[in-house]
Amino acid sequence: MTDENSNLQNWKRNALKELKKKDIDGIFIETPEGINIKPLYTSEDIKNIQHLNSYPGAEPFLRGPKATMYTGRPWTIRQYAGFSTAKESNQFYKKNLASGQKGLSVAFDLATHRGYDSDHERVHGDVGKAGVAIDSVEDMKILFEGIPLDKMSVSMTMNGAVLPVLAGYIVAAEEQGVDVSELSGTIQNDILKEFMVRNTYIYPPEPSMKIVSDIINYTSKKMPKFNSISISGYHMQEAGASLVQELAFTIADGIEYIRAATKTGSLVDDFAPRLSFFFAIGMNFFMEAAKLRAARYLWSEWTKKLFNCKDPKSQMLRTHCQTSGASLQEQDPYNNIIRTTIEALAATLGGTQSLHTNSFDEAIGLPTDFSAKIARNTQLILQNETGIADTVDPLAGSYFVENLTKELIEKANELIEKIEEMGGMTVAVIEGFPKSEIETSATKRQAKIDSGEQVIVGVNKFKSEQQDPIDVLDIDNNAVRDEQIKELKKIKSLRDSDQVYHALNNLKKAAKENSGNLLDLTIIAMRARATVGEVSYALEEVYGRYGVKQEIVKNVYKNSYTNKNHFIEVDKALDNFKNIAGESPKIFMAKLGQDGHDRGAKVIASAFTDIGFNVEIGTLFQTPTEAVEMAINLGVHVIGVSSLAAGHKTLIPELIDELKKRQADDILVVCGGVIPAQDYNFLYEAGVSAIFGPGTSIPFAASTTINKASAQLIRMHNYRKSRTNN
């Protein structure tokens, strides 16, 4: 036995003795990724790992896409921002650029994401709320006024309405005097992940992939500095995916996009070097850093294997990262500054090319100037005060990190191979495989948090008795919408209507015949001052607007919950309700407006089903009227509204008014999500029965809802009895 093996055996004996003294059974920690974390790693754990001999800037790029990495130039500080009108966002961008930000990242409102103009009846609660409202080229011109687009790299998070938004940006640049070939930046253009998690799609998967291919084709020929796609795992992790799922599904999406583009005649080496990626960085510090290293290895190996790339840059994964929004907590929100710093450090030690750091108040509402400054300065401090940019891949050689990297590569490969066997990611998405896997993972994680098995400081452990009030940014939704509608009317009165009609007709014809390049044709339409909504509707007439039936994951939440005593109060409340009503409580889960982030609603639906509710879940993007109609037809006792995009002050009161109009106000309304505490009284006065903010345990929410529903049944019974007696 070697000295090292002998020392390891001695350590194990001593460690087991210590664990026994503390009454601890196990020595391994199993992660959601199925990786067993050992308390000690040695050189034995990195034997036969091939990637240890790799170098930064060389295949398989595990240690970084560039040889010098941050020693040559630090990562780009690219803060994601946009709200209200183009004019207000433009002022915000200029302020950030003057304070050290190096690139722009544009957040669009949900109306724009879903291809609706601001005057559309379905979006009146969404305009300007969770991003900037963009209806036309004129809005784009205002958005970038005074910002030279030949010098400024611009990232745009857009997928559903990607054609009119990208075309509007190109035309705005033209009218600024900038040739399309000079534009640099990224368009997200990652529609597959929309069908899995984020849901801001417009058209079905197959025509959506045609749009992706046309954008790749156009940009590879005419925009050599521009990234035609940002393949995003970010929203997967935010929706509850494990890191292995995020890795595997993101790489599988990238493979599918290359296939789609090459089928239309593009050569892989003509466009693959301009593909980019986008990952979430959560609180598992070492695993997040290892994940980025594993991602570069996986992309290099799979592209080489499947597409026979000749240009090494086609195998090079370059990524933007954003700290996790899901890790931000409403309770003790200043703790979020620490969480974001830790996540930012993991991203940079993992070798990201650019980074967005979240503001500490984003679990409550839109970031303020104060919180946005702290978020930006977090990166400036990391770049300038910590020394982490002084050497390339500083975690290389760590027994733990290298072993984690290997484990992530192996487990992600298994999942990618499974998707390949299914026929690729488009087939997997249509069959609902990745969506189901992510929702199961999210439900398990929530059960571990609610039961206290996974500690969240200030939420389920080390709670503060008093919460300090936090200022939040409140957007006057009606004022923004009125301003946008006024500008839309002005644009339509000044443009050549015949020119717009012909341009949109040509776009529709190309879509019907599957001919021409749709981005080329959309640019012509946007030059003529067609609007985002008009372009989107022209294609909707051909392709249809996509919608899916919402499924509920069952028998996961309660089975994953370690402390069954937490359900005692719920079971008592359930028995009481059944005695009064003669049936189980029935709840309708509603998502109002154009917010497609459905993780919260789906996890609640799954957990409430396991607890004993009869749960019905509505389609996404409902109006308050549609939700009430469904709820009445289903005969529910409660409507639960999940709000994450700041539309609660408009949409929830409308829903309650509609219940009153329909004489169905005996149906309780409860809500949860990202709702600032200062809005609670407004919602209670509007008629909401209970509000469950971020961090509320599901058993508590369930028992509270059941008890309120029981009280409502008794009230209604007594009311009817008194009417009869009178």
CA atoms within 13 A on the CB side of 564: 3
- What is the Cα–Cα distance from 144 to 149, expressed in whole angstroms? 8
Active-site annotation holder among 235, 291, 406, 411: 235
Active-site annotation holder among 135, 190, 332, 595: 595
Element (H, E) at 91: helix 86-98
Q: Sort strands 104-106 and 80-81 into parallel, antiparallel or unpaired.
A: parallel
- Torsion (CA) 90, 92, 93, 96 in degrees, nearest 10: 160
Helix (H, G, I), strand (E, B) or coil at 119: coil
> Quick one: which of 601, 477, 636, 617 has its CA closest to 110?
477
- What is the Cα–Cα distance from 424 to 434, expressed in whole angstroms? 12
Beta-bridged to residue 155, according to DSSP, are 105, 186
- 692 within 8 A of 668, measured Cβ to Cβ: no
Active-site annotation holder among 124, 129, 406, 591: 591
Residues with Cβ within 8 Å of residue 294, at least 6 apart in sequence = 62, 247, 405, 408, 409, 412
Assess whether 70 carries a catalytic annotation: no
> Quick one: which of 495, 519, 482 has its CA closest to 84?
482
| Phi-psi category of residue 114: left, alpha or beta, with phi > 0 → left and psi -120 to 50 → alpha | alpha
Assess whether 257 carries a catalytic annotation: no
Assess whether 124 carries a catalytic annotation: no
Assess whether 597 carries a catalytic annotation: yes
Active-site annotation holder among 291, 320, 597, 708: 597
Assess whether 591 carries a catalytic annotation: yes
- 403 within 8 A of 46, measured Cβ to Cβ: yes
Active-site annotation holder among 51, 66, 70, 80: 80
User: Per the structure block, which two tokens stand in for 587?
Assistant: 């709840």
Instruction: Measure Cα distances from 573 to 277, 596, 613, 717 in Å.
Output: 48, 32, 11, 18
Active-site annotation holder among 70, 203, 218, 234: 234
Say which amino acid occupies 70: Y
- What is the Cα–Cα distance from 66 to 248, expressed in whole angstroms? 23
- What is the Cα–Cα distance from 298 to 416, expressed in whole angstroms? 10
Question: What is the three-state SS of 294-312?
Answer: HHHHHHHHHHHHHHCCCCH
User: Per the structure block, which two tokens stand in for 57?
Assistant: 């800037």
- What is the Cα–Cα distance from 169 to 453, expressed in whole angstroms? 47
Assess whether 235 carries a catalytic annotation: yes
How many residues belong to the chain? Answer: 726
Element (H, E) at 461: none
> Quick one: which of 553, 599, 527, 658 has its CA closest to 137?
527
Neighbours of 697 (CB within 10 A): 18
Say which amino acid occupies 11: W
Beta-bridged to residue 322, according to DSSP, are 280, 356
The residues that are catalytic are 80, 234-235, 591, 595, 597
